[in-house]
Amino acid sequence: MRLPVMLIVAVAVLILAINGERSAVSGDARGEAMTRVNLLLDRSASEDTKPGRDPFFGHEMPAKPSAEQSAAAAKPLVAAAPALPSFRIVGKQHDEHGWLVFIAAPERNGLLWTVREGESFGEGYRVAKLAPPVLVIQAKDRKLSRKFNIGTDEE
């Protein structure tokens, strides 16, 4: 549908260029030619256009959002809870009391916790599960947890 409109526009520009170069053409003839071009453009534009669409632009215009979509977009987003710190599991050890795990926090240079299952460490974290190959660290107040693979009990 764009091709006929583009063709009509090209013809109109060509007519204008030819009429502009001829000085012998009277003002009435030039006015009649312009009227014909305008009629052609109006007719083709009315056939080719849809509400909200520009016939000279290649993409469809997005539809206006409904009232429900506008209301949903206006609602503030709930801030996500911060993730657990990037704990690093340095090692594990088994003794007569069970498993022991060594946990480091890269953000805090030199800090190393030695904890067992159920014990708390740091600022509100605890070892929820310690059964190789699984270690689960949980934040007490935020209900966030992170699962680590610490290897089998032979390693």
Dihedral sign (CA 5, 6, 8, 9): positive
More confident residue, 103 or 77: 103
Q: Quick check: bond before 65 cis, omega within 30?
A: no
| pLDDT at site 21 | 57
Residue span of the structural domain in which 105 resides? 88-149
What value does the mean pLDDT take over residues 2-7?
Answer: 77
Q: Are both 9 and 54 inside the same structural domain?
A: yes
Q: Are both 97 and 142 inside the same structural domain?
A: yes
pLDDT digits (tens, 9 = 90+) for 104-154: 987 878 789 999 999 999 888 999 999 989 999 998 876 788 999 998 876
Q: Are both 56 and 108 inside the same structural domain?
A: no
**Which amino acid, one-letter code, is at 21?**
E
In this predicted structure, the answer to whether residue 28 has a pLDDT above a threshold of 70 is no
Q: Helix (H, G, I), strand (E, B), or coil: what is residue 99?
A: strand
| pLDDT at site 20 | 63
Q: Are both 6 and 56 inside the same structural domain?
A: yes
Side-chain half-sphere CA neighbours of 105 within 13 A: 12
> What percent of the chain shows pLDDT beyond 90?
25
> Has residue 37 been placed in a domain?
yes
Q: Are both 99 and 145 inside the same structural domain?
A: yes
pLDDT digits (tens, 9 = 90+) for 33-82: 667 666 656 655 555 555 566 566 555 556 676 766 666 666 555 555 55
In this predicted structure, the answer to whether residue 103 has a pLDDT above a threshold of 70 is yes
> Has residue 8 been placed in a domain?
yes
Tokens of 95: 């003794």
Q: Are both 55 and 97 inside the same structural domain?
A: no
pLDDT tier for residue 84 given thresholds of 50, 70 and 90: confident
